Amino acid sequence: MSRTIKLAVIPGDGIGPEVVAEAVKVLAAVIARDDVTIDTSTFQLGAARFLETGDVLTETDLASIQQHDAILLGAVGGVPGDPRLKDANIERGLLLGLRFALDHYVNLRPCTIYPGVTSPLAIPGVVDFVVVREGTEGPYVGNGGAIRRGTPQEVANEVSVNTAYGVERVVRYAFEVAQGRERKRLTLVHKTNVLVFAGSLWQRIVNEVAAEYPQITVDYLHVDAATIFFVTNPSRFDVLVTDNLFGDILTDLAAAISGGIGLAASGNINPTGRFPSMFEPVHGSAPDIAGQQLADPTAAILSVALLLDHLGLTDAAARVNEAVADDLLRRSETAPLRRSTAEVGDAIVTLLTD
Amino acid sequence: MSRTIKLAVIPGDGIGPEVVAEAVKVLAAVIARDDVTIDTSTFQLGAARFLETGDVLTETDLASIQQHDAILLGAVGGVPGDPRLKDANIERGLLLGLRFALDHYVNLRPCTIYPGVTSPLAIPGVVDFVVVREGTEGPYVGNGGAIRRGTPQEVANEVSVNTAYGVERVVRYAFEVAQGRERKRLTLVHKTNVLVFAGSLWQRIVNEVAAEYPQITVDYLHVDAATIFFVTNPSRFDVLVTDNLFGDILTDLAAAISGGIGLAASGNINPTGRFPSMFEPVHGSAPDIAGQQLADPTAAILSVALLLDHLGLTDAAARVNEAVADDLLRRSETAPLRRSTAEVGDAIVTLLTD
Ligand SMILES: CC(C)[C@H](C(=O)O)[C@@H](O)C(=O)O
Ligand SMILES: CC(C)[C@H](C(=O)O)[C@@H](O)C(=O)O
């Protein structure tokens, strides 16, 4: 029985369209073997669209995106400091707009130091962990405000909102991820000694769920201490679960230690399937190098692997991951030649189809 | 004219008393040359005191600490998981208690990779920056709460409070620090694309103050991006200014890249002099290695240099910094011998008095 996947593609701004083109190419190549068809619709969203029409994400966009099985996003955001974008926060309106509207409560960000890749760490060790970042709560809810703006008496507040419902569902997901891994270790990262209310909610839920997973070793780190281990002993981590803001910070650091943001993939997942999940490289739109075939599409291609996994096409996902690992190793073994965005995509396609 | 400095000493818990003993030893040695006397009073505060009396920080403690010119603190906090400390958050009650009561709005945390010290980074480069962390606002204000605690309907909020008054004073301090340095660079770190209200307050104040300091080059980084530069290019930083929570996270990372938390000093400063400022190593009480002369007192000794600087004894401060740098270089040149806490203190005293 053949299967058709309806994929919404949001190329976005800057290097987004270039890396997405390679990701789609790889996706087509990998599923050619399976009895699966991809039916893509492209959505022009991002800074360019905003500058043209004034829209960030309309109800119509959202409704038609929701008709899809999954979303592949390149990167969004205009040139920093562009005065025409001053009051439009594209990242917030679009990226967070989609994450919240589609209830992407799991933000999944694996961190692997692939053989052959140079880490900025002197002795990186074997690093292979995954951060399960909460995606719909915390200080990201937009529950802030200010009074007396622009005056010396201004007060600006930001509220981090955390619910047992929201924490439990992402914590359960993280335990399931840990359960499926060899080391079966889960680390809660928070700042319980200062954010005592949110912290004790997170700690309570982790303790409660832990009781159902006696095979899993659970520990806790303050977020500040966690950053130390990221650079001194990242091998200690297996699965981390943390809030939206801490997860944002830690996953950029994770990307940095594993050889750069050019390799970091992410999934914004609604595990219930009620809404389509969205897969995107962690990197931004990098307008300074856009349109020159200079961007590394690897993060976008690894995001395709996460997408395939999410859709249950685990073999295809594994093949993409292997081809990427293979390509990264070959890169390090051959002379350090600078390949174009398309050349990297082509090399991975060749590895997949050989 | 001779001068007497009234110093409140809080040795605290775990390794606190050991490292403070060395710091006081070094302090006495360095000022012996100057016409300065140190008059110390010791305050038994921390987990041990709490377990004995149930007090964390009484009004009486606070009133008598305030009679001093400065405070030197070792480390506070009991054995993690000690059930008797379960509901007493010593760090929060005591450390934050003092920072807030004494209006320590500047949390000054220098980061230097000293010659001879091994960084976990493969190519650390020349690193010498200082983080000016806000100390009395942000998510640290204790403005959180929860409803339906312990139930599946729990909601736990944490409020980050930011005022123009509070932001401006710390930003001005950071510009003054940058003004006194060679590179005259200042980087604001925040998350303006998500925490839009707090972020735009910080950005506005930095822009306004920047207009008064045309010699200073100002830039901005999102906190997630900043962590990337901490491991890929920490040399780019000169002075960073940031909020309480981001500063907490970034300074642990800074300590890690510069050779560990055993070398990281900090000052909790009230620049107006209305309240005594407090100097402490960034590390915690490390109860697992306490009482064994295993702790490195260098961070406590570098905190003494910050204290001397704050009291206007800049020559003495420079002498301590030089002696520490000298000691660290010698350590790396001689066989990697493990010295006791007191041996490190003694070595630095010898370098100071030779
Ligand atoms: C662009 C920004 C809103 C976003 C975030 O903070 O989540 C980004 O940093 C990320 O991690 O995906
Ligand atoms: C112990 C804790 C309350 C404290 C903080 O978060 O400020 C510590 O991490 C620090 O950085 O001094």
Contact indicator for B317, B47 with CB cutoff of 8 Å:
no
Which residue in A92, A156, A164 is closest to B198 by CB distance?
A156
Give the pLDDT confidence score for residue B283 in this predicted structure: 93
Residue A50 pLDDT grade (very low, low, confident, very high; cuts 50, 70, 90)? very high
User: Does residue B335 carry a pLDDT above 70?
Assistant: no
CATH of segment(s) A119-146+158-258: 3.40.718.10
* Domain extent listing, chain A: 1-104+267-354, 119-146+158-258
Ligand number nearest to the C-alpha of B135:
2
Ligand number nearest to the C-alpha of B299:
2
User: Does residue A35 carry a pLDDT above 90?
Assistant: no
Give the pLDDT confidence score for residue B198 in this predicted structure: 98
User: Does residue A309 carry a pLDDT above 90?
Assistant: yes
Give the pLDDT confidence score for residue B2 in this predicted structure: 80
CATH of segment(s) B119-130+162-258: 3.40.50.2300
Q: Compute the average pLDDT of residues A103-109.
A: 98
Distances (CA, A) of A179 to A152, A342, B62, B177, B351: 53, 37, 49, 50, 55
Give the 3-state secondary structure of residue A253.
Answer: helix
User: What tokens does A132 get?
Assistant: 């399960």
User: Does residue A88 carry a pLDDT above 90?
Assistant: no
Q: Do B159 and A158 lie within an 8 Å CB cutoff?
A: yes
User: Does residue B150 carry a pLDDT above 90?
Assistant: yes
Contact indicator for A211, B157 with CB cutoff of 8 Å:
no
Contact indicator for A105, A136 with CB cutoff of 8 Å:
yes
Instruction: For an interface test with A, give the residue of B147, B227, B251 to mutate (most A CBs within 10 A).
Output: B227
User: What tokens does A128 get?
Assistant: 């292979």
What's the gap in Å between B119 CA and the centre of ligand 1? 29
Q: Compute the average pLDDT of residues A64-86.
A: 93
User: Does residue B141 carry a pLDDT above 70?
Assistant: yes
Q: How far is B29 from chain A (nearest CA, A)?
A: 33
User: Does residue A336 carry a pLDDT above 70?
Assistant: no
Which residue in B197, B231, B253 is closest to A156 by CB distance?
B197
**Could you give the CA distance from residue B251 to residue B266 in angstroms, rounded to a whole number?**
10
User: Does residue A255 carry a pLDDT above 80?
Assistant: yes
B52-60 contacts, C-beta under 8 A, 24 or more apart: B56/B88, B56/B90, B56/B93, B56/B94, B56/B97, B57/B93, B57/B94, B57/B97, B57/B98, B57/B101
Which region among A27-41, A82-96, B146-160, B195-209 has the lowest average model confidence (pLDDT)? A82-96
**Which position has the token pair 């679960």?**
A241
Please confirm, yes or no, whether A114 is among the known catalytic residues. Answer: no
Q: How far is B132 from chain A (nearest CA, A)?
A: 16
**Could you give the CA distance from residue A22 to residue A10 in angstroms, rounded to a whole number?**
13
**Could you give the CA distance from residue B238 to residue B178 in angstroms, rounded to a whole number?**
7
Residue B256 pLDDT grade (very low, low, confident, very high; cuts 50, 70, 90)? very high
CATH of segment(s) B1-110+262-354: 3.40.718.10
Q: In chain A, what percentage of residues exceed pLDDT 70?
A: 99
Give the pLDDT confidence score for residue B43 in this predicted structure: 98
Q: How far is A235 from chain B (nearest CA, A)?
A: 14
A257-274 per-position pLDDT tens digit: 999 888 999 999 999 999
Of A290, A220, A263, A211, nearest to A16 by C-alpha is: A290
Q: Compute the average pLDDT of residues B62-80.
A: 95
Class of domain A1-104+267-354: alpha beta
Give the 3-state secondary structure of residue A164.
Answer: helix
Please state, as a whole number, how many other Cβ atoms lie within 10 Å of the Cβ of residue A25: 18
Give the 3-state secondary structure of residue B279.
Answer: strand
Residue B336 pLDDT grade (very low, low, confident, very high; cuts 50, 70, 90)? low
Pick from A85, A89, A95 the residue to mutate for probing ligand 1's pocket: most ligand atoms within 8 Å of its CB: A95
**Could you give the CA distance from residue B134 to residue B198 in angstroms, rounded to a whole number?**
13
Which residue in A146, A197, A249 is closest to B156 by CB distance?
A197
Threshold 0.95, pTM exceeds: yes
Give the pLDDT confidence score for residue B41 in this predicted structure: 98
**Could you give the CA distance from residue B135 to residue A194 in angstroms, rounded to a whole number?**
13
Which is more confidently placed, A325 or B89?
Answer: A325
